[in-house]
Amino acid sequence: MWHFFVLGTSDSGKVAGDVNHLWPGNGTLDDPYIISWNANDALNARNYGAGRKVIIIAISGMSTLSVAFASSAYSGDLSAICHYFGVSEEAATLGLSLYVLGFAIGPLLWAPLSEAFGRRIMFLTTFSLFAIFNVAAAVSANFASLIVFRALAGVFGGAPLTNSGGVVADLYDAETRGLAAVFYSCATFLGPVLGPIAGGFLGETQGWRWIEGLLAIYSGVMLILGIVAVPETFSIVLLRRRAAMLSMQTGKFYVTSDDHRNPPGSLVERVQEATSRPLRLLSKEPTVIVLALYMSFIYGTTYLLLAALPIVFQKVRGWSPGIGSLVFISIAIGMFFATAFMVFINHHYARKFRASQTGQLPPEARLLSAQVGAVFIPIGLFLFAWTNSPSLPWAVCMVGIAMFGFGNICVSLALVNYLVDSYVAYSASALAAATLMRSLCGAVFPLFTTYMYEGLGIHWASSVPGFLSLACLPAAFLLCKYGPQIRQRSKFAITMSVGK
- Tens of pLDDT along 375-417? 999 999 999 999 988 888 888 989 999 999 999 989 988 888 8
H or E, element range at 58? helix 50-73
Per-residue confidence band for 10, with pLDDT thresholds at 50, 70 and 90: very low
Q: With respect to residue 1, please indicate whether it lies within any of the assigned structural domains.
A: no
Answer whether residue 293 shows pLDDT above 70: yes
Rounded-to-10 torsion of CA 237, 240, 245, 247:
-170
- As a whole number, the mean pLDDT across the chain is 83
The CATH number for 124's domain is: 1.20.1250.20
- Tens of pLDDT along 308-327? 888 888 888 888 777 877 88
Q: With respect to residue 495, please indicate whether it lies within any of the assigned structural domains.
A: no
Q: With respect to residue 458, please indicate whether it lies within any of the assigned structural domains.
A: yes
What mean pLDDT do residues 475-487 have? 85
Q: With respect to residue 374, please indicate whether it lies within any of the assigned structural domains.
A: yes
Q: With respect to residue 201, please indicate whether it lies within any of the assigned structural domains.
A: yes
How far apart (Å, rounded) are the C-alpha atoms in residues 449 and 444? 9
| Residue 228: predicted pLDDT | 92
- Angle of helix 427-472 relative to helix 394-422, nearest 10 degrees, comes to 140
Answer whether residue 145 shows pLDDT above 90: yes
With a pLDDT cut of 70, the percent of the chain lying above it is 89
What mean pLDDT do residues 471-485 have? 87
Answer whether residue 215 shows pLDDT above 90: yes
Pure H helices in 230-320: 235-250, 257-261, 267-284, 286-310
Beta bridge partners of 33: 254
| Residue 38: predicted pLDDT | 81
Answer whether residue 285 shows pLDDT above 80: yes
- Tens of pLDDT along 59-109? 988 998 899 889 888 887 777 888 888 888 778 888 888 898 887 788 778
User: Cα angle at 31 between 27 and 35, to 5 degrees?
Assistant: 60
What mean pLDDT do residues 156-164 have? 82
Per-residue confidence band for 418, with pLDDT thresholds at 50, 70 and 90: confident
How far apart (Å, rounded) are the C-alpha atoms in residues 487 and 500? 15
| Residue 264: predicted pLDDT | 65
Higher pLDDT residue, 103 or 58? 58
Residues 6+ apart with CB under 8 A from 392: none
Higher pLDDT residue, 360 or 326? 326
Question: Helix, strand or coil for residue 34?
Answer: strand
Per-residue confidence band for 493, with pLDDT thresholds at 50, 70 and 90: low
Answer whether residue 482 shows pLDDT above 70: yes
| Residue 7: predicted pLDDT | 55
How far apart (Å, rounded) are the C-alpha atoms in residues 321 and 495? 51
Answer whether residue 197 shows pLDDT above 80: yes
Q: With respect to residue 33, please indicate whether it lies within any of the assigned structural domains.
A: no
Half-sphere exposure of 455 (CA within 13 A, CB side): 6
Per-residue confidence band for 497, with pLDDT thresholds at 50, 70 and 90: very low
| Residue 403: predicted pLDDT | 95
Residue 170: closest CA among 238, 254, 102, 101:
238
Cβ proximity of 483 and 475 under 8 Å: no
Answer whether residue 8 shows pLDDT above 60: no
If one counts the domains in the chain, the total is 1
- Tens of pLDDT along 221-255? 999 999 999 999 888 889 888 888 888 888 888 88
Tell me whether residue 263 is exposed, middle or buried, using C-beta atoms within 10 angstroms of its C-beta: 0 to 12, 13 to 18, 19 or more: exposed
- Tens of pLDDT along 341-350? 988 888 888 7
- The CA R_g of the chain, rounded to the nearest whole Å, is 23
| Residue 138: predicted pLDDT | 92
Residue 118: closest CA among 282, 261, 270, 223:
270
- SS3 of 86-119: CCCHHHHCHHHHHHHHHHHHHHHHHHHHHHHHCH
Question: Helix, strand or coil for residue 173?
Answer: coil
| Residue 377: predicted pLDDT | 95
User: In terms of residue numbers, what domain contains 465?
Assistant: 45-240+258-488
- Tens of pLDDT along 103-131? 778 877 887 787 778 889 989 999 999 99
With a pLDDT cut of 90, the percent of the chain lying above it is 22
| Residue 2: predicted pLDDT | 44
